[in-house]
Structure 1
Amino acid sequence: MYYSLLVSDGEKKYLRFVDMEVPDNVTEFKKKRIYEMKIPVKGGQGAHELALRRKKPIYIPDRIGSFERWLSEDDKWVQEICNIRSFIFIPMILNGEVVGILDLSNSETKLDLSVEDISKLSILAEQLAGIIYGSTLFKELEVSKNIAEEERRKNEKLLLNILPHDIAQELKEKGATEPVLYENVSVMFTDFKGFTQIAEVLSPQELIRDLDACFVQFDKITERYKLEKLKTIGDSYMCAGGIPKQNQTHAIDSVLAALEIQAFMNLMKQIKADQGLPFWELRLGIHSGPLVAGVIGEKKFAYDVWGDTVNTASRMESSGTPGKINVSGTTYDMIKEVFDCEYRGKVNAKNKGEVSLHHVIIYSKH
């Protein structure tokens, strides 16, 4: 048997979940979503609201069946993830007002309650109402609610730092996201030539400081051109244009961002050289094509992409000339009306055979 306890807020406009025990298969993320639910004390729809209006227990002994029409969308979602077979919602009444609801449910077996059992549970619920509102527990619950709300805001901000806004919203609403096939996306890879050798002569603090300074600027530039940062691995930086919101300018946007990134790295190179310090040169490659994008992980989410397009973009970077914008023939075809490019030959790419490689000239035609 599982339970949950809902208590009204200070203004008695909503009931909120303050404690619960749910099946082990319900993830922490989904439990957080349940805790975020608000049940209107008046004017709402659903099984809880029905118990509030009637001020009597709502008891479904086995299978939801015809009662399903009384369930709200939130009720149905909780029923599905908890696999609820039977339940009873018991209003907690104090001085004639419902101040909370005690939920009891079973997933594998039915609840077998007699009229006397339900009467005893109703008395228990009234006693709980008196205890909660007549002791410091209620104040503690209010404090806990405020803390939980602050944590929710922090978690939401963290989620938006990890995932694209639309993907984060889908994850919050549904508890999961569906992978998406994109017909045309531009993927950019970068890494630093000679990173390992220079890293050996820098202290850990200097290494992280310099790497962070570069990636912070990359983040600002890619955001300005509406590219989606995907991840960093060591000294490698990966982003893409045309996801999660598709557009027709992703190849041009990626090249414009790449030009700014290389300009920034050239400035860093000049500053370091003037001081007699070692400097990094950047290899950068771009390829355009189809790929699959989606969220992986349950506790540590990551928005990632898969497909030959990703492998080919990586090959453009690793085979490219440092300090240049190295693009594939496919990307070249999408940008040639805007940028002058120089053909540099062919390179072998995994699952693709030979792929044309071009350098973007620093100036544009327009």
Structure 2
Amino acid sequence: MNKLGQVYWYWVLLILPLNVFSQNNLDSLQKEWENHSLADTIRAEAFKNYIYEGAFRTQPDSAIFLAEQLYNFTKKSGNQEGVVDALNLKGYSLFRIGDYTKALADYKLGLKIAEKIGYKTGAADILLRTGYVYHDNEDYLKAINYYEKSLKLYEDTNDLEGKSDVYNEFGSIYNAKGNHEKALKYYLQSKKINDSINDEFANATTYNNIGNLYLNGEEFDKAIEYYQKALKIDEMTGNQLGVAAALGGIGATLLEKGEYKKALETLKKSVDISERINDVQGGITNRLSIADIYIERTQYSKAIIACKKSLSEAKEIGDLGNQEYAYECLYESHRALGNSSLALDYHEKMLAITDSLKTEETTIKLQQMEFTKQMQADSLLQVEKDLEVQMRHQEEVRYKDRNRNVAITAGVLFLILAIGFFSRWRYVKKSKAIIEKEKDRSENLLLNILPAEIAAELKEKGEAKARDFEMVSILFTDFKGFTEQSAKVSATELISEINNCFKSFDMICEKYDVEKIKTIGDAYMAAGGLPVPSNDSVEKTIMAALEMQAFMQSRIAEKKMLDELTFEMRVGIHTGPVVAGIVGVKKFQYDVWGDTVNTASRVESNGEVGKVNISNDTYEMVKHNPSLSFEHRGKIEAKGKGQIDMWFVSNA
């Protein structure tokens, strides 16, 4: 197994630069808070800093409790900015332990108050941290939206620290998307700001992020260099969360280098710190890396213990990504021990989680949560308005008639009406929730089958007509010797390997906006330039093909070391006109037809393993691209097509 690419980005959100406070400083802050002769605003500020620099770093559960105390104090004293800060701190502490729902609720209330009183700094901080929630759940579009709003406010208030934080998050998103060049650019912008205000301590975050970037790019020595820089600062400031992050990064890098003994020692140190400070997410990820080491050492029983604990905690906080990885770990470990029945059970559960991730279940839950909260808030508001109307009516009756019996009767009537209205509201609320849930389920299923544009047309018109496309790049892949290889292994191993490969191909296609069409046995078909044509679709299709081959080469090297099944692959691309649309009325699918498809299939079958073969038509459209290199093959005889001019393409 290999977790490279999903390493530790979430720590970015938790290691934000904090001022350095010694225990003496904490004691001083506590005394300020307890000094009733000071102004309430001064006491509140001291208590906020006390929580940030103390419990937030080491005891997030206590930080939540203390932040609630701060909220009650500022609310009672009428300190509106203090209320915003308290809600921000409480939400951040809830986020820290993975309780996203409650964190968003506090952020929403705090933002409403901040905007009402014109507290720009408070609003910017809350917008930034709301972005963290969506970032943590890989809803990058929403995260970016919140980050951009916070950046605008930070720029309005000339808050350099805030701008530095936002640049860090932009860098992390580009890193997650594989654009390391832009990620590094934003990280260095963040560092430049920190250097300009002489805040080297704030660079701990940036150093960790740059370490993650180099780890993802497999530049291991550079990764360790930056993790150690971060570790030095965090040890100096006593930031245990930062220490755990840096050690985790170093451990993950050593694991990728194959230095298993050092990696195990380092990761265990990180896990110990994470458990001590209740850093659940960090503990999960590092424990799974430890399980990887145990599997490499064939210590499968130890791997199972580590994976089970991570799985349990991942379920508690709703972390689907690490649930999937834990199930894969358990599957591989039990398979190695010969526990076929258990291995199959875990494999099925892993595939179920994979399907959930494909439909972006985590993001949908967040969206449903916000919708439900808004619906409840609106409904309760209406109940309050109706009750207010009823109460005014009762007062008018009492004023006009002065009759006790009439007043009592009106009161009873009001109570009956209120109970009836509340029952009706609750019934409508439940009905709407059920309808909305079923609607989301059907829409997500539709989007998993069809491109978004085609699904929208189908919902709007009841049908989606076939369309002509003038320039579409058809991509085919095929595993060499698949039939012979499949006869040598079990069906479970065969399906597992194909699923791993096609799952990676799906992610690559999504990265380059290439539309997956279908799989046919061991063949994979995709198309660039539909259903929405674009000027760079040919280049993107080629880049996707090159990345697929790079993945397969890496997979072959990894599997050969373990003496396990894998395949060599051919890839072919041809560009030309096609017709695309929905096939059938039952179990329908989006498909493409035309001579371009047949030619692309012949280009693939006449390719070579490990290379990307393209037709001359495709070559003519990209031949001036300086990032690509071409090798002319001449005219190749293709079955049913005669001679076709072909080229091998690679990265320049």
If the TM-score is normalised by the length of the shorter chain, which range does it land in? Answer: 0.5 to 0.7
Counterparts of 2:516 and 2:552 in 1: how far apart (Å)?
18
Q: 1:169 aligns with which of 434, 456, 471?
A: 456
Partner of 2:591 in structure 1? 304
Counterparts of 2:633 and 2:473 in 1: how far apart (Å)?
20
Counterparts of 1:289 and 1:167 in 2: how far apart (Å)?
21
**1:76-115 residue pairs with structure 2 within 5 A?**
none
- Look up the SS of the partner of 1:240 in the other structure: strand
Using a 3 Å threshold, how does the CA distance of structure 1 residues 363 and 266 change in structure 2: closer, same or farther? same
Give, in angstroms, the shift of residue 218 of structure 1: 0.4
Q: Tell me the amino acid that sits aligned with residue 300 of structure 1.
A: K
Q: 1:213 aligns with which of 477, 500, 520?
A: 500
Q: Is residue 2:530 matched to residue 1:239? A: no
Gaps of 5+ in 2: 1-419
Q: Tell me the amino acid that sits aligned with residue 465 of structure 2.
A: E
Q: Is residue 2:636 matched to residue 1:347? A: yes
Q: Tell me the amino acid that sits aligned with residue 324 of structure 1.
A: K
Counterparts of 2:580 and 2:567 in 1: how far apart (Å)?
31
- Look up the SS of the partner of 1:309 in the other structure: helix
Q: Is residue 2:540 matched to residue 1:267? A: no
Counterparts of 1:232 and 1:141 in 2: how far apart (Å)?
44
Counterparts of 1:304 and 1:350 in 2: how far apart (Å)?
23
Give, in angstroms, the shift of residue 148 of structure 1: 3.8
**Cα deviation per residue 1:11-56 (whole Å; 9 max; x = unaligned)?**
xxxxxxxxxxxxxxxxxxxxxxxxxxxxxxxxxxxxxxxxxxxxxx
Q: Is residue 2:645 matched to residue 1:356? A: yes
Give, in angstroms, the shift of residue 206 of structure 1: 1.0
Partner of 1:77 in structure 2? none
Q: Is residue 2:616 matched to residue 1:329? A: yes
- Look up the SS of the partner of 1:239 in the other structure: strand
Counterparts of 2:453 and 2:640 in 1: how far apart (Å)?
32
Counterparts of 2:532 and 2:564 in 1: how far apart (Å)?
41
Give, in angstroms, the shift of residue 216 of structure 1: 0.7
**Cα deviation per residue 1:75-126 (whole Å; 9 max; x = unaligned)?**
xxxxxxxxxxxxxxxxxxxxxxxxxxxxxxxxxxxxxxxxxxxxxxxxxxxx
| Contact 2:474–2:573 under 8 Å retained in 1 | yes
- Look up the SS of the partner of 2:630 in the other structure: strand
Give, in angstroms, the shift of residue 146 of structure 1: 4.4
Counterparts of 1:299 and 1:148 in 2: how far apart (Å)?
24
Give, in angstroms, the shift of residue 351 of structure 1: 6.5
Could you say which structure has the higher helix fraction? 2
| Contact 1:311–1:349 under 8 Å retained in 2 | no
Counterparts of 1:166 and 1:218 in 2: how far apart (Å)?
21
Q: Tell me the amino acid that sits aligned with residue 359 of structure 1.
A: F
Using a 3 Å threshold, how does the CA distance of structure 1 residues 350 and 172 change in structure 2: closer, same or farther? farther
| Contact 2:497–2:565 under 8 Å retained in 1 | no
Partner of 2:474 in structure 1? 187
Q: Tell me the amino acid that sits aligned with residue 647 of structure 2.
A: H
Counterparts of 1:225 and 1:158 in 2: how far apart (Å)?
22
Partner of 2:563 in structure 1? 276
Counterparts of 2:636 and 2:566 in 1: how far apart (Å)?
27
Counterparts of 1:306 and 1:287 in 2: how far apart (Å)?
13
- Look up the SS of the partner of 2:457 in the other structure: helix
Counterparts of 2:434 and 2:487 in 1: how far apart (Å)?
45
Partner of 2:318 in structure 1? none
Give, in angstroms, the shift of residue 214 of structure 1: 0.4
Counterparts of 2:508 and 2:546 in 1: how far apart (Å)?
10
Counterparts of 1:300 and 1:178 in 2: how far apart (Å)?
17
- Look up the SS of the partner of 2:585 in the other structure: coil
Q: Tell me the amino acid that sits aligned with residue 516 of structure 2.
A: K
Q: Tell me the amino acid that sits aligned with residue 295 of structure 1.
A: I
Counterparts of 2:511 and 2:478 in 1: how far apart (Å)?
20
Counterparts of 2:565 and 2:516 in 1: how far apart (Å)?
27
Counterparts of 1:287 and 1:350 in 2: how far apart (Å)?
15
**Cα deviation per residue 1:224-254 (whole Å; 9 max; x = unaligned)?**
1110000011111000100001011111111
Q: Alignment identity in percent?
A: 49
| Contact 2:474–2:527 under 8 Å retained in 1 | yes
| Contact 1:328–1:357 under 8 Å retained in 2 | yes
Gaps of 5+ in 1: 1-132
Using a 3 Å threshold, how does the CA distance of structure 1 residues 270 and 227 change in structure 2: closer, same or farther? same
| Contact 2:473–2:538 under 8 Å retained in 1 | yes
Using a 3 Å threshold, how does the CA distance of structure 1 residues 200 and 297 change in structure 2: closer, same or farther? same
If asked which structure has higher relative contact order (CA below 8 Å, sep 6+), I would say: 1
Q: How many residues align?
A: 230
Counterparts of 1:255 and 1:199 in 2: how far apart (Å)?
29
- Look up the SS of the partner of 2:571 in the other structure: strand
- Look up the SS of the partner of 2:532 in the other structure: coil
Give, in angstroms, the shift of residue 281 of structure 1: 0.4
- Look up the SS of the partner of 1:291 in the other structure: strand
Give, in angstroms, the shift of residue 177 of structure 1: 0.8
**Cα deviation per residue 1:293-326 (whole Å; 9 max; x = unaligned)?**
1111223121100000000000011111111100
Q: Tell me the amino acid that sits aligned with residue 363 of structure 1.
A: N
Give, in angstroms, the shift of residue 140 of structure 1: 8.9
Partner of 1:155 in structure 2? 442
Using a 3 Å threshold, how does the CA distance of structure 1 residues 297 and 146 change in structure 2: closer, same or farther? farther
Partner of 1:315 in structure 2? 602
Q: Tell me the amino acid that sits aligned with residue 236 of structure 1.
A: A
Give, in angstroms, the shift of residue 208 of structure 1: 1.1
TM-score, normalization by structure 2: 0.34
User: RMSD value over aligned CA atoms?
Assistant: 2.3
| Contact 2:606–2:638 under 8 Å retained in 1 | no
Give, in angstroms, the shift of residue 340 of structure 1: 1.9
Give, in angstroms, the shift of residue 144 of structure 1: 6.2
